[in-house]
Structure 1
Amino acid sequence: MTRTLPRPLSPCAVSRLRLLGCLALVALVAVLGSMVTAPAIAGWYQNLAKPAWTPPNAAFPVAWTVLYLLMAVALWRLWDRAPPGPARRRAIALFLAQLLLNAAWSPVFFGLHAIIAGLAVILALVAVLAAAVMAAFRADRIAGALLVPYLAWVCYASTLNAAIAILN
């Protein structure tokens, strides 16, 4: 009786699995953030003084859904399409570091109702994300471009966080 080894996956199948992994990782961060955020919206967040340029609550899930998709595709491109080497490793490491900061912000701001601590987290996120975007551009220009709207939104969100800190 002879044993047959499983056939290796095709490069296309490997690429799809990587994309699914990136989507799953980023979706996990999104779901965890929304689990902390959603219960605080109607009560605590609604009662905060906010600047006049605060978007309606309905805009946030739409914006974040698009941004999380772009983030997942950017990570997939870095993992799957960027040539192996130091530039790719640095871009992925910085992406994962910013993803951790992203995951930390909602529990701090919405979960703990810690506006100032949330501001510290989001400012760190802006710095690490800016470095991640630059590193991504070096490794894969499309991955870098996919992260630019996310950086713009986080910069905007940091100004909202700062204004809420000042007003409250």
Structure 2
Amino acid sequence: MEIFKVNGKLNGKKLALSVLVPVAGGALVGWLANKDSKQDYAKLEKPAFSPPPSVFPVVWTGLYTKMGLARYRIAEKAEQMNAKSESLLVYNTQLGLNFLWSFLFFKWNLRGTALIEMTILLGAILMTMWKFYEEDRLAGLMMTPYLGWVGFALALNYSIWSMNKQK
């Protein structure tokens, strides 16, 4: 199965834009939110399962790429059928929540609020996966690693929050 083609067609510009928005947006948000917070984060108590900071940009780049590809497939299917996809609104909402979390957790040190927001994000990801799956099975399945990583991040957020809430 050709993942870059939708109904046998490839739109390179739309594919590139669909991937570029989450990848570049995530990089920009990461830079802005983490710019002055690395030392604060290093001082926090973390659980044993906490990955080293260098893992996060690598994982997120891969996840954002898959998300963008899934979005491209949904947008192309809708365009080819001369229809609008409600899925894209849900996708955009979860992407906005994803970007907001970095500011809550790192920039503003609102780790409890970030935990609540991430719970909402997890629901938005599930909704996106479900809607994508209904329109394009592959697009829905491509969101699975993202769901898994955010579930892991939720446990990490909770652990860091609970270990440091007295500080």
Q: What band does the TM-score fall into relative to the shorter chain?
A: 0.7 to 0.9
Q: CA deviation at 1:93?
A: 1.4
Counterpart for residue 87 of structure 2: 91
Q: How far apart, in 1, do the equivalents of 2:150 and 2:81 lie?
A: 29
Offset from partner CA, 1:135-156 (integer Å, 9 cap, x none): 1110101101110000100011
Consecutive unaligned residues of structure 2, counting only runs of 5 or more, are 1-7
Q: How far apart, in 1, do the equivalents of 2:54 and 2:123 lie?
A: 27
Q: CA deviation at 1:19?
A: 0.9
Q: How far apart, in 2, do the equivalents of 1:57 and 1:41 lie?
A: 12
1:138 counterpart = 2:134: yes
Count of residues in correspondence between the two structures: 156
Q: CA deviation at 1:27?
A: 2.4
Q: How far apart, in 1, do the equivalents of 2:156 and 2:72 lie?
A: 30
Matches within 5 A, 1:1-168: 15-40=11-36, 42-81=38-77, 84=81, 89-168=85-164
Q: How far apart, in 1, do the equivalents of 2:71 and 2:55 lie?
A: 24
Letter in 2 for 1:140: D
Worse overlay, 143-152 or 77-86 = 77-86
Letter in 1 for 2:135: A
State whether residues 36 and 110 of structure 1, in contact with CA within 8 Å, keep that contact through their aligned partners in structure 2: no
Worse overlay, 70-79 or 18-27 = 18-27
What is the aligned-residue identity percentage? Answer: 28
- What's the RMSD between the two structures over aligned residues? 2.1
Worse overlay, 20-29 or 42-51 = 20-29
Q: TM-score, normalised by structure 1?
A: 0.84
Q: How far apart, in 2, do the equivalents of 1:40 and 1:140 lie?
A: 41
Q: How far apart, in 1, do the equivalents of 2:111 and 2:69 lie?
A: 31
Letter in 2 for 1:81: K
Structure with higher Rg: it is 1
Offset from partner CA, 1:41-91 (integer Å, 9 cap, x none): 5311111111111111121111111101101101001111356488x6222
Q: How far apart, in 2, do the equivalents of 1:139 and 1:71 lie?
A: 15
Q: TM-score, normalised by structure 2?
A: 0.85
Change (3 A) 1:53 1:135: same
